[in-house]
Amino acid sequence: MAARKILTYPDTVLRERSEPVTDIDGKVQQLIDDMADTMYLTNCAIGLASNQVGEPCRIIMFDTSAKDEPNELVVLINPEIIEADGVIVNEEGCLSVIDYRADVKRAERVTVKAIDREENPITIKKEGLGAIVLQHEIDHLNGTLFIDHISKLKRELYKRRLKKLLKEKEA
């Protein structure tokens, strides 16, 4: 097991649509273990998508209990939202979007169909924070980041600030 490097915006891999997993083999199991290590090593992280560590396949994981009681890890392979309703607005951040948080409007409840790591089909229903995380992580697999859900003006301001920040890091 090993933590992997997290890609950050504007890395183009984050913008690609990830391909479905067709075989849950040893390599996929290893990737899932590495993703869990990566997520738990990052203090405030409650979710992660495979393409954030440079693997454009469709795997997400989350643990919304991370702060209190870790290890309520949920791993979903080829997740798909089959039902969504309600509206909730909450401040989001992302390991791949450095130094930024913003309010994002999401569905309040979602039902997601997926496969677990033991190859069983599962259906999971979540509301509130769980629903937000599911939508945020499934977005990643489709090349979408939470900053795509904010106003163009806010996004442009962030891009400008990020450019400056990255330049300062180079110098």
Peptide bond into 10 cis (omega under 30): yes
Q: Quote the DSSP letter at residue 50.
A: G
How near is the Cβ of 93 to Ni ion at its closest, in Å? Answer: 8
Instruction: Choose, from 137, 156, 168, 170, the residue flagged as catalytic.
Output: 137
- Interface map 8-27 toward Ni ion (x if CB under 5 A): --------------------
Between residues 27 and 159, which has the closer beta carbon with respect to Ni ion?
Answer: 159
How near is the Cβ of 19 to Ni ion at its closest, in Å? Answer: 19
Q: For residue 100, give every residue at least 6 positions away whose Cβ sits within 8 Å of its Cβ, in sequence order, or none.
A: 93, 147, 158, 161, 162
Between residues 27 and 101, which has the closer beta carbon with respect to Ni ion?
Answer: 101
Q: For residue 112, give every residue at least 6 positions away whose Cβ sits within 8 Å of its Cβ, in sequence order, or none.
A: 76, 79, 80, 81, 82, 123, 124, 125, 126, 134, 138
DSSP 104-147: EEE-SEEEEEEE-TTS-EEEEEEETHHHHHHHHHHHHHTT--GG
137 is catalytic: yes
Residues in 72-101 that interact with Ni ion by CB under 5 A: 94
The site that binds Ni ion (CB under 5 A) totals a number of residues, namely 1
How near is the Cβ of 79 to Ni ion at its closest, in Å? Answer: 14
Q: Does 147 bind Ni ion (CB under 5 A)?
A: no
How near is the Cβ of 120 to Ni ion at its closest, in Å? Answer: 26
Residues 166, 145: Cα–Cα separation, whole Å: 19
- Give the footprint of Ni ion on this chain (CB under 5 A): 94
Which residues carry out catalysis?
137
